[in-house]
Amino acid sequence: MSTWTACGTLDLDLALPVRRRFLVHRETYQQAAEELLVAMKQEMPSWLPRIAHLVDLRTARRFHSLAKAQAEVMGIDWRDLMIAGVAYDLTLAYFGCSTMAHATQEGPVLARNMDWWPERPLARHSYVFRELDGPMARTTVAGWPGAIGLVTGMSQHGFALAMNAVGDGTGLNKTGYPVMLHLRRVIDDCRSFDQAVERVAQQSLAAPCLVTIVGTENHQRVCVERTPTTCCIRRAEGDDPLLTTNHYQADEDDLELDAGSLGSTSCGRLAAMQQLLPTDCRAMPDDELLYVLSDSQVRLGITAQHIVMRPRENRMQLCVPTSLVS
């Protein structure tokens, strides 16, 4: 018996002006504001909204109209959404994630747990967001109403990415670009797998992170292991699974690991995925991947989403733990 529940899809028409794009989903957005945004704000220092304008300036106001349009529909302050977009950079200790990139007979598949807080309201308000350019989904994102940045997404240009948290002991890089907002730029702007890898690898970031990126061919599977200012690229070995949790693996001698609460379970979850996966992963359907992700040795208490992405098909399946929504 499965322990996950499939999530719904919200389509956003890119032909509409940004101020009208979210109106069709007004009720869904307002419900998220009443529960999810309230829960997130309770976990954040009261002074954080003061830096929303600084984030707006650092990102050259790229996300300003998007934040204001969603905030208007939700009946909240746009600054709350801007701050939520940089939550990862400011509160690393709340995040985790376990990610698998497999070579299959139908091309690469990227499957991951999103371990995020506050897990229960996040699960209750999780949706697949498709930005439609005519009948085609230009981008597909596993997210929630009001999200500006992203941690899991896919582009019609043949690549998908998933971000895992990691600590490097250096703290916040105040001049770097917010991680979740940069990944939003990558999904929106990049036109190929190679370009996505380059953009993730080269940008100066506000915080360290691990970003798994897959394309449409099985050799296109990498994990870009980032500190705010340096990068190592770890590649899949042949058709072996490329696994990522919350510690550096590419060049551990040169990258200082701040294990903290993330590192305490990171290696155990990595070993569990290795043991649970079959010897030959080339024919694994979505359900088998979800069984691995939902196993008690891999799933954390803050696991809010299970996601499977297949870029060659431009298809995403998003599920949440049933225990969080029942």
Q: What CATH number has the domain bearing residue 184? A: 3.60.60.10
What pLDDT does 278 receive?
86
* In a domain? residue 220: yes
What pLDDT does 135 receive?
87
What pLDDT does 252 receive?
53
Query: Phi and psi at residue 4, in whole multiples of 5°?
Result: -125, 160
For residues 277 and 293, state if they share a domain.
yes
* In a domain? residue 273: yes
* In a domain? residue 202: yes
What pLDDT does 258 receive?
45
Quote the tokens at residue 200: 């993730």
For residues 48 and 111, state if they share a domain.
no
What pLDDT does 320 receive?
98
| Boundary (domain end) residue, out of 62, 89, 116 | 89
For residues 250 and 321, state if they share a domain.
yes
Mean of the pLDDT values across residues 211-223? 98
Q: What is the per-residue pLDDT across 258-297, written as a single tens digit (0 to 9) for each?
A: 444 556 688 899 999 999 998 777 788 999 999 999 999 9
For residues 111 and 237, state if they share a domain.
yes
Distances, alpha carbon 12 to alpha carbons 115, 147, 301, 313, in Å: 26, 13, 31, 20
Angle at 282 between CA 271 and CA 142, to 5 degrees: 70
Quote the tokens at residue 60: 């050259």
Tell me which of 25-39, 80-94, 286-300 is least confident: 80-94
For residues 47 and 195, state if they share a domain.
no
* In a domain? residue 192: yes
What pLDDT does 263 receive?
60
Quote the tokens at residue 91: 């509160």
| Ramachandran assignment for 238, one of left (phi > 0), alpha (psi -120 to 50 degrees), beta (any other) | left
Q: What is the per-residue pLDDT across 98-136, written as a single tens digit (0 to 9) for each?
A: 999 999 999 999 999 999 989 999 999 999 999 999 888
What pLDDT does 168 receive?
79
Number of domains in the chain: 2
For residues 56 and 106, state if they share a domain.
no
For residues 241 and 105, state if they share a domain.
yes
Please, what is the average pLDDT of the chain? 91
Where is pLDDT greater, at 47 or 291? 291
Cα(320)–Cα(250) distance, integer angstroms? 30
Quote the tokens at residue 139: 């981008």
What pLDDT does 207 receive?
94
- Domain of 216? 94-325
Cα(287)–Cα(188) distance, integer angstroms? 29
Cα(230)–Cα(227) distance, integer angstroms? 5
For residues 57 and 183, state if they share a domain.
no
Mean of the pLDDT values across residues 23-43? 89
Question: Which residues, other chains included, contact 50 with Cβ-Cβ below 8 Å and sequence gap of 6+?
Answer: none
* In a domain? residue 173: yes
Pairing of strands 159-164, 209-214: antiparallel
For residues 76 and 205, state if they share a domain.
no
For residues 118 and 256, state if they share a domain.
yes
pLDDT classification of 250: cutoffs 50, 70, 90: confident
* In a domain? residue 290: yes
* In a domain? residue 33: yes
What pLDDT does 94 receive?
65
* In a domain? residue 8: no
Quote the tokens at residue 76: 């909240």
pLDDT cut 70: percent of the chain above it: 93
For residues 251 and 161, state if they share a domain.
yes
For residues 44 and 77, state if they share a domain.
yes
Query: Are the C-beta atoms of residues 274 and 243 closer than 8 Å to each other?
Result: yes
What pLDDT does 254 receive?
44
| Boundary (domain end) residue, out of 44, 60, 89 | 89
pLDDT at 93 over 60: no
| Boundary (domain end) residue, out of 57, 89, 121 | 89
